[in-house]
Structure 1
Amino acid sequence: MNCYQAVFMDRDGTIGGTGHFIHPRDFILYQGAQEAIHELKEAGLKVFAFTNQHRISRGQATIEEFRRQFDEYGFDDAFICPHGSSEKCDCKKPEPGMLRTAAEKYGLDLSRCVVIGDVGDTDMMAAHAVGAKKILVKTGWGEGSLNTFRDRWIDVEPDYIADHIQDAVTWILRSDT
């Protein structure tokens, strides 16, 4: 039996891109990211995208364009916050609304789920709020999260610090017994 039920992956800076907004049509996955998604699925885990995309609220992309992209990558579902920073919502990370919505939709115990992201004060804090395992990748904003911006999430410790998405997935599969 798998210890973990699902893995939530941030998009920008975690599975590809630069950490900044890149339209889905121009987004490029990191080397090994596609394989990492498939490895998790082959191991019987659900794999979900989990991303803040405030540019949707500005009309610079649509939620459908992001959903299509995540479908192409093989994600089981995508949880996308489209709201701008001035909008009040419970889904914009670090709020854990997207994780709770997924848990309700798929019958998940979030303490048996893993969140992979590159930003400590959003991805790691959302995971911490629901008791999920936390993996910070050093790609994207990851190095900055561990150094320059560590004070923003000082009370939260990642369960693992990965060099990249493939390293994170290797850790999950080794510890999923």
Structure 2
Amino acid sequence: MKEIQAVFIDRDGTIGGTGHFIHPNDFQLFDGVAEAIEKLRQAGIKIFAFTNQHRISRNQATKEEFAQQFKDFGFDDWFICPHSDNDACLCKKPKPGMLLEAAQRYSLDLSKCVVIGDVGSTDMLAAHAVGAMKILVKTGWGNDSLLKYRDKWAETTPDYVADDFTKAVRWIMESD
């Protein structure tokens, strides 16, 4: 396995749900995700959530509710953009602000990190901006990202396309 310092994981559509917002109290992981996260942990890889959650800005959920969820799922830390599309923040994907914040906080070399997500025009572009490895999963918006919306992120190509999160983790663990 290559030296991987951390894996950044999108939430909606990547590890559960449909790609649309689901409140943390109602969100369910896909089958096998908890075990795949544990495999990463056992390999000594840091596990970070990185997710756009503009519903926080609409008071439909709180950052604390997401934080508790990620803690319960076994994540080491979570980077959450709570801003709406109209806010001029630096963290909302496809901007790489959350990745850069994590790199500074944990002294990471982002070229030795992996981003797993289902949206090419946000997750993959954020990873591309910092030189991280990119894995697109076909769950959530993944198939549409590859087929209908490929033009919105044409400047980059995923390092791997996985059917789901568990297959993405398997590929990480087996790659060299």
Following superposition, the deviation at residue 127 of structure 1 comes to 0.1
CA deviation vs aligned residue, 1:85-141 (integer Å, no higher than 9, x gap): 000111000000000000000000000000000000000000000000000000000
Alpha-carbon distance in structure 1 between the residues aligned to 2:25 and 2:18:
15
Q: Please name the residue that 1:126 is paired with.
A: 126
Aligned residue in 1 for 2:151: 151
- Count of paired positions: 176
Cα deviation code 1:152-171 (max 9, x no counterpart): 00111000000000000000
RMSD of equivalent CA atoms: 0.9
The reply on whether 1:101 has 2:101 as its aligned counterpart is: yes
The AA in structure 1 aligned to 2:79 is F
Task: Tell me which amino acid in the other structure corresponds to 1:57.
Answer: S
Q: Quick check: 1:29 aligned with 2:29? A: yes
How many Å separate the matches in 1 of 2:74 and 2:87? 30
Tell me the amino acid that sits aligned with residue 152 of structure 1. K
Is 2:140 aligned against 1:140?
yes
CA shift, 1:2, in A, is 5.5
Q: What is the one-letter code of the residue matched to 1:123? A: D
3-state SS, counterpart of residue 25 of structure 2: helix
How far residue 143 of structure 1 moved from its aligned partner, in angstroms, is: 0.1
| 2:3 counterpart residue number | 3
Deviation at 1:35, TM superposition (A): 0.7
Q: What's the secondary structure of 1:26's corresponding residue?
A: coil
> Unaligned regions of 5+ residues in structure 1, if any?
none
Distance (whole Å) between structure 2 residues aligned to residue 95 and residue 155 of structure 1: 15
Q: CA deviation at 1:62?
A: 0.2
> Runs in 1 of length 4+ with deviation above 3 angstroms?
none
The aligned counterpart of 1:173 is 173
Aligned twin of 1:15: 15
- The whole-number CA distance in structure 1 between the counterparts of 2:103 and 2:26 is 31
TM-score (norm. length: structure 1): 0.98
- Please state whether the residue corresponding to 1:25 is helix, strand or coil: coil
Give 1:46's aligned residue.
46
In the superposition, the TM-score normalised over structure 2's length comes to 0.99
Unaligned runs of at least 5 residues, structure 2: none
2: distance between equivalents of 1:163 and 1:2?
21
Q: Which residue matches 2:69? A: 69
Q: Which amino acid aligns with 2:92?
A: K
Instruction: State the Cα deviation string for residues 9-31 of structure 1 (Å, max 9, x = none).
Output: 00000000110000000001000
- Please name the residue that 2:82 is paired with: 82
